[in-house]
Structure 1
Amino acid sequence: MIEVMLQMFCSFFGTMMFSTLFNVQRRYYFGCGLAGMLGWMGYYLAQPYLSSAVCCFIGTVMIMLSSRIMATRLKCPITVFLIAGIFPIVPGARVYHTAYNLVAGDMIAAASYGLSALQDAFGIVLGIVCVLSLPGSWFGNKNQRNRNEN
């Protein structure tokens, strides 16, 4: 239980601090941290049972759902929360190990890490596309609702 709380704390504050690098306005820091925390919790809790790519998909879906809701409520672009929120689940270590093994000459390990990184990236992209394809009216977007009524 303590480990889960520590994971939540670190993912929340890590994402919130990462959003400062992108010059996100102060009023959106909490939302960025919340999106990152929800995404990491989805990834972290699914990790013992599913593959890394599926965990990335689940985490990204949670980030996208929370980002769409917050973007509608706070009247700002969804990318404010998406870019910062996706930070905890980006497969940066796998990309690093791919490059390292390429330079070291271990092509089998490089191919293994590279394929794993591509699978994770595909899971992230699929999660973004799935949630973006949902109608805006589901998230309280009044403009989307008015367009559908006409």
Structure 2
Amino acid sequence: MIWDIFLNVVCPFMGTIAFAVLFSVPSKYFISCGLTGLMGWLAYYFTEPYVSIAIASFFGALVVVLISRILTVRKKCPITIFLVAGIFPLIPGSGVYYTAYYLVTNQLNQAAFKGLESLKIAFAIVIGIVVIVSIPRQFFSIEYWVRKWKRKGEFKND
């Protein structure tokens, strides 16, 4: 039990930081990248027992992109810094590997199953990214909500 919790917290965090290093992300963003990947993985991990793997990947991608958008506004940097590194724990790498393996070993039914499953996961991740990226940047800024709240309060006093 403890080992399972350890692996599901430390591995996505460290793996995301490793990809951040690989993509030459500035070191001041390493912890933020690690937390982004960790939160996306935890969203996937906790929803996967209740829904399909593709839907769980969709929710994980939503969390990754949402946190990436928030960090982008807060830290004033490009979204790709957090998004590219943070999405890696959700990528269906083993599914693609096994698809190729089953194709090479002439197990076409297994290859089709794994390939379709990997494709569904990839599309779910893309849809999760599109949903959050389509929200205007200003919605992730605290100043926007403070101004909106103050304007709303002005109308109530009239």
Is the shorter-chain TM-score for this pair beyond 0.5, marking a shared fold?
yes
Shift in Å at residue 13 of structure 1? 1.3
Q: Unpaired runs of 5+ in structure 2?
A: 145-158
Q: Percent identity?
A: 47
TM-score normalised to the size of structure 1? 0.91
- The whole-number CA distance in structure 2 between the counterparts of 1:107 and 1:5 is 37
Shift in Å at residue 134 of structure 1? 1.2
Moved more, 57-66 or 131-140: 131-140
Residue type of the alignment partner of 2:33: C
TM-score normalised to the size of structure 2? 0.86
Shift in Å at residue 142 of structure 1? 6.9
- The whole-number CA distance in structure 2 between the counterparts of 1:135 and 1:21 is 30
Matched, 1:108 2:113: no
Structure 1: 4+ residue segments shifted above 6 A: none
Q: Unpaired runs of 5+ in structure 1?
A: 144-150
Q: Give the equivalent residue in structure 2 for 1:84.
A: 85
- Cα deviation, 1:67-108, whole Å, max 9, x if unaligned, reads 000011111100000000001010000000000000000100
Is the Cα–Cα contact under 8 Å of residues 72 and 141 in structure 1 kept in the other structure? no
Shift in Å at residue 141 of structure 1? 8.0
- The whole-number CA distance in structure 2 between the counterparts of 1:95 and 1:37 is 22
Shift in Å at residue 6 of structure 1? 3.2
- The whole-number CA distance in structure 1 between the counterparts of 2:104 and 2:70 is 43
Residue type of the alignment partner of 1:34: L
The root-mean-square deviation of aligned C-alpha atoms, in Å, is: 1.5
Written as runs of structure 1 = structure 2, the 5 A alignment for 1:8-47 is: 8-47=9-48
Q: Which has the larger radius of gyration?
A: 2
Q: Give the equivalent residue in structure 2 for 1:148.
A: none
Shift in Å at residue 10 of structure 1? 1.5
- The whole-number CA distance in structure 1 between the counterparts of 2:108 and 2:6 is 39
SS at match of 2:70: helix
Written as runs of structure 1 = structure 2, the 5 A alignment for 1:1-150 is: 2=2, 3-140=4-141
